[in-house]
Amino acid sequence: MATPKCAANYAPLTPILFLERSASVYPERTSIIYGDLRFTWKQTMERCRCLASKVAQLVSAGQTVSVLSPNSPAVYELNFGVPMARAVLNSINSRLDARMISVLLSHSETKVLFADSQHLQVVQEALRMWLSSSDAPAEKPQIIVIEDRLDAGSYNFQTFLPGWGELVEYEEFLASGDPSFPIQWPLDDWETIVLNYTSGTTSRPKGVLYHHRGAYLAPLITVQFWGMQDESVYLWTLPMFHCNGWTFIWGMAAIAGTNVIIRNVEAKAIYDSIVKHKVTHLCGAPVVFNTIANAPPQDKKKLPGRVFTITGGAPPPPSVLSNMESMGFTVLHSYGLTETYGPALVCVWKPEWNGLSAEERARIKARQGVATVGLQGLDVLDPDTMKAVPRDAKTIGEIMIRGHTVMKGYFKDEDATRKAFEGGWYHTGDLGVMHPDGYVEVKDRSKDIIISGGENISSIEVESVLFKHPQIMEAAVVARPDKHWGESPCAFVTLREGAMGVNADTIVAYCREHLPKFYVPKTIVFCELPKTTTGKVQKFKLREMAKALPQSVASKL
């Protein structure tokens, strides 16, 4: 070939480049704010080089380094420092229990574990489980303790597991590193950069592998469509262990913006940070938006400017949406999975919708939306025939995705990978419809369709009606086995504080007004909803509860 790739015109795509550029172009600009601590991009780069130099002494290229920590500057640094040593970072959900953590440490073949001092108890338990299991590693993993600056001195470094010796502290570890360590660039941009386990059942952990190519493209595309610039200030209300903070860890380095990191995502800390640091952007699951919208009046503050937000995981409820927008937040609804580097679909807003009623706008914004330019394909397909469903907003199919920002595959699980990619599409497992205007709307997780009398009921549609009830705070709907109909919709409802005059009958009557008859829940249970550590309602638990309801809890109708 007359025009081959060479060092001048080709390099593997990698987000490490973002950090290198920001350190060079914006050396003095603030990269990270954490309490009273501030770093510049130059310092962040030097700290990441120190980290990489030390990691490179402990592991070989391709080996796994894990981290278990709330959001902190250290976690930010690990997302660059570990790949800069050509090792793979595994970010563990810090809300998991010891059993699940031991499964992940084992499956990921963790060589080094960075753990926040707050989590050392659970780490000890997890290690005990792992080391005494049949999967016990030949060598004990190295533990580095991240002593939180806002909570320093709380942990006694000599009281770890017997025989482990004194633990090394993160800052101490970095201090002996080399701030001019040469970056170990990936040899190919298909090389793995991180490993993220999906939340879900523990029986068979699914480790999603990201490559450097996707970790360059996904954040670049996200900061572009969100209009982020070098003066953007991003507040970390999203856990960094979620798809590497929906890839914003790398994205913030791409634009050389400022990261404002908070350890506890509470209303006061959010509003205080927004005002103090002039936050321009933040993301979060619906639970975070609830926190912001329903903050006690004494915690709320007037925004210093417009704050752009992205939410995902579930459509923002209309009341939260209007509440947030009236305060000066702009809410963008996005959809994605761990397998798609976070945001893959965006509910792109069109100016012609501005004149619609608040309700109508919320309905439009509840749709998951359209593909980013990182995807080569997005469609709703019949999973049996792999043919597209009609664009009628009614016919349910499986949402399928393909393109540049789809995972490399599952770690050590060729079967699951093959199945996920069957027919040349990534099967999301989410059921949805395609609207005539090309917007996708999720109707249910595959298992969340309720089949009653041969008719499909989307539990999400029932929920969205319940959410609109002024006295209902939260609701989730699952199938309850029903002798007559096969299944019937069963609603679990949490009322707002101080709700008055609401009972099962009034709710059923309300639903009858707003839903097709067969959609109306036949059972209403008032309780707190069980949730995962990431705030998702655990429908499988509700299904078990629905199944176990005594017959005396009669079905209505």
The distance of closest approach from Cβ of residue 88 to a second copy in the complex, given in angstroms and rounded to an integer, is: 12
Q: Does 402 bind a second copy (CB under 8 A)?
A: yes
- Residue 33's DSSP bridge partners are 38, 260
Q: Does 175 bind a second copy (CB under 8 A)?
A: no
- φ/ψ of 341, rounded to 5, equals 55, 40
Nearer to a second copy, 417 or 458 (CB): 417
Q: Does 335 bind a second copy (CB under 8 A)?
A: no
Do residues 263 and 239 make contact, with C-beta atoms less than 8 angstroms apart?
Answer: no
- Residue 110's DSSP bridge partners are 64
Q: From the list 370, 393, 545, 549, which residue makes contact with a second copy (rule: CB under 8 A)? A: 370
The distance of closest approach from Cβ of residue 413 to a second copy in the complex, given in angstroms and rounded to an integer, is: 8
Nearer to a second copy, 373 or 527 (CB): 373
Nearer to a second copy, 376 or 506 (CB): 376
Query: Which of 327, 258, 246, 232 lies closest to 31, judged by CA?
Result: 258
Spell out the residues 6+ positions from residue 264 whose beta carbon is closer than 8 angstroms to its own.
70
- The beta-carbon contacts of 500-508 under 8 Å, at least 24 apart in sequence, are 500/471, 502/469, 502/471, 502/472, 504/556, 505/556, 507/466, 507/469, 507/472, 508/556
Q: From the list 168, 295, 348, 529, which residue makes contact with a second copy (rule: CB under 8 A)? A: 348
The distance of closest approach from Cβ of residue 26 to a second copy in the complex, given in angstroms and rounded to an integer, is: 8
Q: Does 187 bind a second copy (CB under 8 A)?
A: no
Nearer to a second copy, 208 or 235 (CB): 208
Q: Does 406 bind a second copy (CB under 8 A)?
A: yes
Q: In b/e form, how buried is each residue of 39-59, taking b as 16+ CB within 10 angstroms?
A: bbbbbbbbbbbbbbbbbbebb
Rounded to whole angstroms, the Cα distance separating 129 from 134 reads: 10
Q: Does 554 bind a second copy (CB under 8 A)?
A: no
Q: Does 351 bind a second copy (CB under 8 A)?
A: yes
Q: From the list 190, 202, 264, 447, which residue makes contact with a second copy (rule: CB under 8 A)? A: 190
The distance of closest approach from Cβ of residue 419 to a second copy in the complex, given in angstroms and rounded to an integer, is: 11
| SS3 assignment, position 459 | helix
- Tokens linked to 369: 């939306």
Q: From the list 33, 380, 407, 546, which residue makes contact with a second copy (rule: CB under 8 A)? A: 407
Do residues 307 and 328 make contact, with C-beta atoms less than 8 angstroms apart?
Answer: yes
Residue in this structure with the two tokens 């070939």, named with its chain if needed: 1
Do residues 55 and 112 make contact, with C-beta atoms less than 8 angstroms apart?
Answer: yes
Q: Which stretch binds a second copy (CB under 8 A): 10-18, 95-103, 381-389, 483-491?
A: 10-18
Q: From the list 242, 404, 435, 539, which residue makes contact with a second copy (rule: CB under 8 A)? A: 404
Q: Does 221 bind a second copy (CB under 8 A)?
A: yes
Q: From the list 376, 456, 506, 533, which residue makes contact with a second copy (rule: CB under 8 A)? A: 376
Q: From the list 313, 403, 489, 521, which residue makes contact with a second copy (rule: CB under 8 A)? A: 403
Do residues 179 and 188 make contact, with C-beta atoms less than 8 angstroms apart?
Answer: no
Q: Does 19 bind a second copy (CB under 8 A)?
A: no
Instruction: Write the Ramachandran bin of 453: left for phi over 0, alpha for psi from -120 to 50, otherwise beta.
Output: left
Spell out the residues 6+ positions from residue 425 whose beta carbon is closer than 8 angstroms to its own.
377, 379, 381, 386, 400, 401, 402
Do residues 406 and 342 make contact, with C-beta atoms less than 8 angstroms apart?
Answer: no
Nearer to a second copy, 160 or 425 (CB): 425
Q: Which stretch binds a second copy (CB under 8 A): 138-146, 267-275, 367-375, 473-481?
A: 367-375
| SS3 assignment, position 238 | coil
The distance of closest approach from Cβ of residue 342 to a second copy in the complex, given in angstroms and rounded to an integer, is: 15
The distance of closest approach from Cβ of residue 408 to a second copy in the complex, given in angstroms and rounded to an integer, is: 4
Query: Which of 34, 53, 55, 32 lies closest to 44, judged by CA?
Result: 32
Nearer to a second copy, 371 or 431 (CB): 371
Angle at which helix 212-225 crosses helix 16-25, to 10 degrees, equals 60
The distance of closest approach from Cβ of residue 2 to a second copy in the complex, given in angstroms and rounded to an integer, is: 5
Nearer to a second copy, 209 or 511 (CB): 209
Residue in this structure with the two tokens 């969340």, named with its chain if needed: 448
Q: Does 408 bind a second copy (CB under 8 A)?
A: yes
- φ/ψ of 85, rounded to 5, equals -105, 10
Nearer to a second copy, 127 or 400 (CB): 400
Print the binding letters for residues 416-445 with a second copy: x by CB under 8 A, - otherwise: -x--xx--xxx-----------x-------
Q: Does 158 bind a second copy (CB under 8 A)?
A: no
Judged by the rule CB under 8 A, the positions of this chain that interact with a second copy are 2-11, 13, 17-18, 21, 24-25, 27, 190, 192, 209, 220-221, 223-225, 227, 229-231, 254-255, 348, 351, 370-371, 373, 376, 401-404, 406-410, 412, 414, 417, 420-421, 424-426, 438
